[in-house]
Amino acid sequence: MSDIVLKTENLTKHYGGVHALQEANFELRKGEHVAIMGDNGAGKSTFVRQITGVEQRTEGKVWFDGKEVNFSGPIEAREAGIETVFQNLALADDLDVPSNLFLGREKVLFNLGPFSILDRKAMRKATEAALIRTAVKIPNLSSTIRHMSGGQRQCVAIARTATFASKLIIMDEPTAALGVQETAQVENIIRTLKENGEPLILVSHNMRQVFDLVDRIVVFRRGKIVANLRKQDTDGNDIVAYITGAKTGQAELQAA
Amino acid sequence: MSQSSHGIGGLSYDAKKRPWPAEFNVFLALVILVAAFELIGRVFLGDSFLFNTRENVSGLFNEQRLQIIILQVSIVGIIAIGVTQVIICGGIDLSSGSIVGATAMIAMSFAQVATVNGNPNPKAMFIDYGLTDLPVIVPLLVAIGCGLIAGLINGALIAYTRIPPFIATLGMMVTARGVAKWWSKGQPISFPTDSFAAIGKGLMPVVIFISLAILFQLILTYTKYGKHCYAIGSNEDAARMSGIKIANHKVLVYAIAGILAALAAVVLSSKNLTAQAGMGVMYELDAIAMAVIGGVSLSGGRGSIIGTVIGSLIFGVIISGFTFLRLDAYYQEMVKGVIIVGAVVLDQWRQRRRAIGA
């Protein structure tokens, strides 16, 4: 099964006595966009944190890109090809767009260790190309993040992930704090990523957004995956039933 | 209108519309300040602050005053360069004045002559070991070593024990001052070699200050090191998530600040031809003031060496202006305090306004 990008088996996380995540079995194929839904505290973010190495899992196995992996931190996961847009954005407010895009992986003209001379032109060019590729709209490349709206900031963060993510992008509620227009802009970027065949995991509360954007929906409830449904096989009411626990989903999971 | 219009991903913007550089405001403040002193001088003293009014001296400007202004800020200015990069990186360095004191004492004791007017140098510390009349490179390397060690300790404390920079460098401030007093049991160290004395002669301090300022302006703008300083000061978590080695970077930042304080010590002791344990007292606050006046934000992430240089000139103009107006030296210190606090208040206000605007 070479087209599986990410696979987890019995992924489990306990915080002391709290079973935040129990035996999660998850698969993501090449080019596939999957949404993770669930109520607050259902285990969505916990799941993401185990995959991206932010936290260490209690039990279970993770395969990424054909190999079993055990990331010790988010940087290691990033180096392996998993890029994450975190809820807190992780941008440096006082730097401009190219500097943020290339933060920690700057292009250099001369390598002088820490005093390496930056190749500002190349970074600027690459930034323009990346923004065009992801259809991100930024009024001015040289203005700092501080001077941008929430939507523009989110776009920069997403453009950054999209520029470097070779294999997988994870977005944790990318539009939670955005207005209508800004949300639309972010959704357009996600569509562009889909067209480019980049696999994506989208954590979202927004039902309309999920049905608009993804191929498959995975529902978490009380630390367990209770549903794993292709978009065309379900609808909003069905998903809500799983989220609230009106439907338990054990039978359906067996079938799927 | 033939404005060039560019767009990224469809949205257009005016390429000519650049953000107003913060240094411009600082420069404007400098001009206004000079004009104010000029005006007050003309009205109340019948004398000019900036221009030459004496018959027997040629030239348009009062060159003597201008030289004094830049000379008296250049030594603290060297420290301010190091302090600027520390503050941009989100830290603070209170130890630089004491590092100046300790380094001046130690370096000077390796720069002494063997004989003064035919007699053995009474103040030479290492004359019994034959460590006199050493080439100038020796005291220079000793000084850099002292600054480096102090800076490395500062940086390591901050990076690895995670104590606030304020506390770590406060400890170094007290300790380094103790070293300065202990080194010669409080005795001044004098009679340097000619080559050592040449370092701080005439306008050399200004030349050294400006050269270092240009070097560090370039480093902060065009190197990875500079970019990471701004990134860490701006959002340390983001910098960490981006894979920047925060601890290593901080150690380097404080080490460089220590070396710059040591260089200031060399220039100062060379200029004065003596080193004393009390040298550099309060220099750290003057250096921080120069940076803050120059637009360096105490919350990190913003500022530049150019700003600090202009800030140091503002500092010099104020001190020189007070002397020009024949005001008591006590007023200078009082006003200095007001200016430091005022600059920080201004910075806070600017940030709030930006936050609302965004």
Domain ranges (residues) in chain B: 22-45+61-348
Q: Is A9 exposed, middle or buried (0-12, 13-18, 19+ CB in 10 A)?
A: middle
- For B24, what's the count of Cα atoms within 13 Å in the CB-facing half-sphere? 4
Buried b / exposed e along B264-295 (16+ C-beta atoms within 10 A): bbbbbbbbbebbbbebbeebbbbbbbbbbbbb
Contacts of B249 in chain A (CB under 8 A): 114
Q: With an 8 Å Cβ cutoff, is B219 touching chain A?
A: yes
Is any Cβ of chain B less than 8 angstroms from the Cβ of A106? yes
Q: Do A115 and B224 touch (CB under 8 A)?
A: yes
User: What beta strand segments (E) does B245-346 contain?
Assistant: 274-275
B223 interface with A at CB cutoff 8 Å: yes
Across the interface, whether the CB atoms of B230 and A92 are under 8 A apart is answered yes
Q: Is B3 helix (H, G, I), strand (E, B) or coil?
A: coil
Give pLDDT, residue B17. 54
pLDDT attached to residue A163: 78
Cα–Cα dist B323/B325, whole Å: 5
pLDDT of residue A251: 52
The CATH fold assigned to B22-45+61-348 is: ABC transporter involved in vitamin B12 uptake, BtuC (1.10.3470)
Q: Measured between CB atoms, does B356 come within 8 Å of chain A? A: no
Nearest to B231 by CA among A99, A84, A74: A99
pLDDT score recorded for residue B1: 33
pLDDT for res B57? 73
**Any bridge partners for residue A36, and if so which?**
A203, A218
Q: Give the closest residue to B343 by CA, choosing from B26, B74, B17.
A: B26
Spatial separation of the C-alpha atoms in residues A64 and A62, rounded to whole Å: 7
Q: Crossing angle for the helix pair B224-234 and B204-222, nearest 10 degrees?
A: 70
Residue A69 tokens read as 């992996």
- pLDDT, residue B290, reads 94
Judged against a pLDDT cut of 60, whether residue A237 lies above it is answered with: yes
Confidence check: pLDDT of A104 > 90: no
**pLDDT tens digits along A113-129:** 889 999 999 999 988 88
Element spanning B168, H or E? helix B165-183
What average pLDDT does the structure give for chain B? 88
Domains of chain A in sequence order: 4-255 (3.40.50.300)
Q: Are the beta carbons of B8 and A131 separated by less than 8 Å?
A: yes
* Burial letters B204-224, b for 16+ CB under 10 A, else e: bbbebbeebbeebbebbebbb
User: Exposed, middle or buried, B312 (CB in 10 Å: 0-12/13-18/19+)?
Assistant: buried
> Taking CB atoms and an 8 Å limit, are B223 and A78 in contact across chains?
no
- The pLDDT, as a whole number, for residue A89 is 64
Identify the band that residue A165 occupies on the pLDDT scale cut at 50, 70 and 90: low
B239 to chain A, any CB pair closer than 8 A? The answer is yes
From the list A103, A135, A146, the residue facing B231 with the nearest CB is: A103
Query: What pLDDT is stored for residue B8 in this prediction?
Result: 46
pLDDT, tens digit only, all 358 positions of chain B: 333 334 444 444 444 555 677 788 899 999 999 999 999 988 988 888 888 877 777 777 888 888 889 998 999 999 999 999 999 999 999 999 999 999 999 999 999 998 888 888 877 778 777 788 899 999 999 999 999 999 999 999 999 998 999 999 999 999 999 999 999 998 999 999 999 999 999 999 999 999 999 999 999 999 999 999 999 999 998 898 888 899 999 999 999 999 999 999 999 999 999 999 999 999 999 999 999 999 999 989 999 999 999 999 999 998 888 888 888 878 887 888 888 788 888 878 877 776 655 4
Task: For the full predicted model, state whether its pTM sits above 0.90.
Answer: no
Contact B310, B23 (CB under 8 A): yes
Cα distance between residue B42 and residue B49, in whole Å = 8
The pLDDT value recorded for residue B350 is 75
- Tens-digit pLDDT profile for residues A20-66: 999 999 999 998 999 999 998 888 988 998 998 888 899 999 999 88
